[in-house]
Amino acid sequence: VCYPRNPLHGTAVSRRPGEPDGPAEHAQKQIRKLMEGCPVSWEPVIKYGDPVDEIIKFAPDRNVSLVVAASYGLSGWKRILLGTVVEQLARALTRPLLVVRSGNEPDAGDAETETPLKNILICCDLAEPSDPLFGYALKFAHQFGSRMHFIHTVAAPLDTEIVDPTAGPYEEVQQTLQDQLLERLVGSLPEKLRTMPDVITAVIPGIAGEKLTAYALENDVDLIIVGVRPRTTFKKLLIGSTTETLLRQAPCEVLTVPPVDETAAVSGQKDIDHKDRKTGIVRDHRYLNHLTADGHPESRQRLEAIYRMLDGADMSDRFTEIPPRKAETDELLLVHTPEHLSKITATQEREHYALTPDTHTSPGSFEAASLAVGGIIEAVSMVATGQLSNAFALVRPPGHHAEKSRAMGYCLFNNVALAAMYARKVLGMSRILIVDWDVHHGNGTQHIFEQDDTVLFFSIHQYPHFPGTGVYTEAGIGQGEGFTVNVPISKRYGDGEYVAIFEFLLRPLALEFHPELIIVSAGFDIHTSDPLGSMRVTARGFAGLTRSLMETAEACCDGKLVFALEGGYNRKTIGDTLRAVLNELSGTTCCDISKIVAQAKRKKLAYALKRSVKVHRQYWKCLSEPYEVKCSSYKIRV
C-alpha cells in the first residue's frame, strides 16, 4: 500500500492525476524480489491510500485468513503521536496478524526448510475467554510438537474478589492469590492441552508487557500468541496495551488473535457481509413432495415454515444455495442393502403406502429421499474442498432412524450415515465425527457404524423414549468399541445442561479423536415447545450448541461442519430456532458459551457426565482419572 506523502511517516509516494505509475512499478519490483524462490503461489496487489484502512478492507474482500507484517517500529514522539501500522492493524483487524521482527528473516537458502517452533508463549487473560488462542496453540503443537508456555500476569498485589487482604501476612496472601490464579489458569485449558507432556503453566506478578517480554527472553521463546481487543476512539489516545508493548519489545515473532465474537464490534455495522465465512444451505421445493397422512408430525408444513423464514428480509441472499442432486444407486448402496433400496424405489408407484405404522410414503417420496441424500453429499463435498466454511442441509424426509435394511421413525434413507460413508469412501477422509442432538436416539446411525473405529458417533437423547435404544453401555462392538458414545438423559434438560455436556464431554473426545469432518444430525425436537419431546432447550441453547460445535471444528478440522435436518415438529417455532443456528454458522452472531454453561443444573449435569465418563474412561485418555469439571457456579469430579 502506497501511503500519501507525509514527512512524519517518512513516505514519499503519491499518485496524482496524470502522474506515471512509478510507485506501482517500484512496488512490483520489490514484491518480486521478496517472493523470489518462495515455493507458494502469490499475487501482487498495489493499493493507494492509508495502509491500515486498505488492508482492513482488503482482508475480508479476499477471504484472507492471516495477515503477515514486518515490524520496524517508531521511537520517541513519533510513537506517542502516531503509533505504528502494525499496532493499528492489531487493534482493527478481524483476522490474526503475524508480526515478524525486522532482522529475523531466514536465509534465502533456508526458504524451503521448515524451522520448528520449539517454544511458544500463550498470553492468557483469565478475565476474558482464551479459546481462539487455545485453538492456535493446539494447531502449532500438533504441527511442530512445540513446548507450550501458558502464562498469566497479575499486576495488582491483591485481588479482593479472590482472596481477603486481611487473611494473613502479605507474602502468604500473595502466594495464596497466585496459587488460586494458577488453579484457574490450568482449569481453563482444554483437556487436550492440559494433558500434553510439554505444557508449562505459570502466574507471574508484575506489569504484563514487561514480564512477558522478559519471560520470552529467558525461555528462548520463538513465538508469542496474544489476544487483542478492539479499542474505542477514546482508548486509542491512552497508553498502549500489553499487546502493543509486545509488538514493540518482544524478542520474537508475535501472533495477535482477535476474539471470535468481536467481528461485529470492529466492523461498526449491525448487518455484516461475512465474505470470510460462507455458509451453504440445501433447499429444494421437491422435498415438499414427500407427503404423509393428515395430522402426521413429519409433514411438509415444517419445511415450508423454514423456507418462509429463509425468504424473510433479514435472511434472504445471505447464504450460498447448494443445488441438490439425486443420489446415485452406488451411493445409496454404500450403507443400505439392495433389497431396501428396491423397496423404497417401488413406493413411486403407490399413491400412499405405510412402510411402518409411523413411516409413510407417497409417489414423490423416493425422489425427495434421494435428493435429501444427494443434497447432503453435495454439502459435504463443498465443505470438504473448502468452497464453503460450513453448511446446513434443510431436507426431508429425515434419516437417522433408517437402518441398513429397513425404514422406521419417519426415515427412509439414513442421510447422515450415507454422507459420512461418502466422505470416507469417495473423498478419502479417515476420521468422521457424527453428533446427534435429536430428542430421539439415532439407532440407525449407531448400528451402521458401531463396528467402525473411523467414525465416532455421539448421541444425546431423551431416555426412555422412542426407539428405546441408546443406553450408556452401548459403546460399540469389536473394532468399533469405544467409538459409540451415548448420553441418555431424562426429561427437562435445558440450555445449560446441553451446552455443558457438549463442552465438557463431546469437545475433549473430539480433540482426542481429531476428526477431519463433523456432521450433525440436528433435531429441533429438543425445543421446549416441541410436541414429541420433553426437553427445555430454547433458541439461545441451539445457538450455544452450534457455537460449541463450531469451536470444536475449528480446533480439529479447520471448521469443516455440516448440519442435516432431522426432527422438530412445532411449525410455529422451528423457523426462529433455526435462524439462531444459521446466524451462528454465518458469524452474524456469536453467543457467550460460558454464560450458558454457568446456568447448568449441577445435579442434572453430574448425572449425565458421571455415567458417560465411567463407561468410556477405558477407551479415551481425556476421560482418565481424575476427570474434573469446573465452572463459576459448580464443580464436578468423576
Catalytic residues: 401
Copy the grid coordinates of residue 409.
421413525
Q: Are 31 and 22 in contact (CB under 8 A)?
A: no
Q: Are 126 and 139 in contact (CB under 8 A)?
A: no
- Quote the CA–CA distance of 85 and 69 in Å, as a whole number: 9
- Quote the CA–CA distance of 520 and 59 in Å, as a whole number: 30
Beta bridge partners of 594: none
- Quote the CA–CA distance of 283 and 323 in Å, as a whole number: 7
Largest CA distance in the chain: 87
- Quote the CA–CA distance of 240 and 232 in Å, as a whole number: 12
Distance of CA 212 to the CA centre of its chain: 29
- Quote the CA–CA distance of 133 and 571 in Å, as a whole number: 40
Residue 352: CB atoms within 10 A of its CB come to 13
* Closest listed residue to residue 325, CA positions, set 374, 365, 372: 374
Per-position DSSP letters for 490-514, written without gaps between them? -S--BHHHHHHHIIIIIHHHHHHH-
Residue 295: C-alpha distances to residues 291, 298, 523 (Å): 11, 9, 20
Residue 456 Ramachandran class (φ > 0 left, ψ -120 to 50 alpha, else beta) = beta
* Closest listed residue to residue 224, CA positions, set 337, 133, 325: 133
